[in-house]
């Protein structure tokens, strides 16, 4: 926590960015993703799954965490879909050793089976991307055919029931012209189970989505 306070004071009293340090680090563990959400974009129109970047493995990941911890107290792990990193389980086991004040993991949640015990030991905030409770629409948006949306909701439930769970579950939705009517239903789902619900607008026009199966 002291790093966050020191960095905040440094930023507040100095208008010169030289010497500034981050309040938190956001690490894109991998850009890989098996889903095709229609709003997925790096800000310039290119979907994350089309981006290419070196994937760190093993000791390289540990060294990066060491460098990040020296600069800030908080870590956000995202992607792409971070669970597709080839060393995802090993990475989760590394994280607690670096003693970040908080760690957030953002995921679609389809591939969480087997990872929940490690997540419980390393993550404070588990953030699921969920834009609708309508299975047909959800499957169409995800782009992998029937059953994916149902599996994600089941994994959210499994996460909720994780023994000795200390992480908070957050439902994250992207608001587009095509799912505005769905968001109150997602919010009701989140409220029913005591999850926080975060909604952000998509900054560009998305196409009208039609099921493709």
d(CA 121, CA 124): 9
Average of per-residue pLDDT across 190-199: 97
| 3-state secondary structure at position 46 | coil
Fold designation for 23-201:
TIM Barrel (3.20.20)
Q: What pLDDT shows up at residue 134?
A: 97
User: What's the Cα-to-Cα distance from 213 to each of 34, 140, 143, 145, rounded to whole Å?
Assistant: 17, 8, 9, 6
Give mean pLDDT, residues 183-190.
98
pLDDT in tens, 155-179: 999 999 998 889 999 999 999 999 9
d(CA 202, CA 6): 33
pLDDT tens-digit map of 85-136: 999 999 999 999 999 999 999 999 999 988 999 999 999 999 999 999 999 9
Q: Which two tokens stand for residue 130?
A: 């969920």
- Judge whether 208 and 178 are in contact, CB under 8 Å: yes
Looking at residue 108, its pLDDT comes to: 95
pLDDT single digits (tens) 45-78: 676 766 677 889 999 999 999 999 998 899 999 9
């Amino acid at each position: 926590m002291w790093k966050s306070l020191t960095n905040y004071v440094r930023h507040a009293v100095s208008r010169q960015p030289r010497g500034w340090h981050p309040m938190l680090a956001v690490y894109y563990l991998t850009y890989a993703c098996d889903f095709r959400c229609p709003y997925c974009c790096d800000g310039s129109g290119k979907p994350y799954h089309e981006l290419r970047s070196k994937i760190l493995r093993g000791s390289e990941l540990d060294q990066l965490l060491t460098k990040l911890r020296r600069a800030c107290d908080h870590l956000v792990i995202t992607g792409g879909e971070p669970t597709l990193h080839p060393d995802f389980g090993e990475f989760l086991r590394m994280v607690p050793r670096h003693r970040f004040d908080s760690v957030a993991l953002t995921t679609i949640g389809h591939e969480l089976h087997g990872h929940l015990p490690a997540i419980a030991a390393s993550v404070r905030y588990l953030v699921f991307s969920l834009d609708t409770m309508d299975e047909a629409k959800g499957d169409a948006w995800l782009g992998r055919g029937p059953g994916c949306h149902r599996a994600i909701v089941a994994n959210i439930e499994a996460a909720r029931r994780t023994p000795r769970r200390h992480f908070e579950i957050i439902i994250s939705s992207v608001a587009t012209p095509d799912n505005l009517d769905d968001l109150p239903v997602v919010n009701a789902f989140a409220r029913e189970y005591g999850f926080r619900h975060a909604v952000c607008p998509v900054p560009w026009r998305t196409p009208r989505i039609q099921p493709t199966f």
